Amino acid sequence: ILRAGKTSLRKRVVYLDDGCEFLLRGYRVIGNTAEGNLDTEIFTVKGGVQIIGEDTVVTGEVIVIDFKNGTFNATNGTAVIR
pLDDT digits (tens, 9 = 90+) for 27-74: 999 999 999 999 999 999 999 999 999 999 999 999 999 999 989 999
pLDDT of residue 79: 87
**Contact between residue 48 and residue 34 where contact means Cβ atoms under 8 Å apart:** no
Residue 82, pLDDT above cutoff 90: no
Question: Per-residue b/e over 51-60, b at no fewer than 16 CB within 10 Å?
Answer: bebeeeebbb
Q: What is the sign, positive or negative, of the torsion defined by CA atoms of 63, 64, 66, 72?
A: negative
pLDDT of residue 44: 98
Residues 6+ apart with CB under 8 A from 7: 1, 14, 15, 16, 17
pLDDT of residue 81: 81
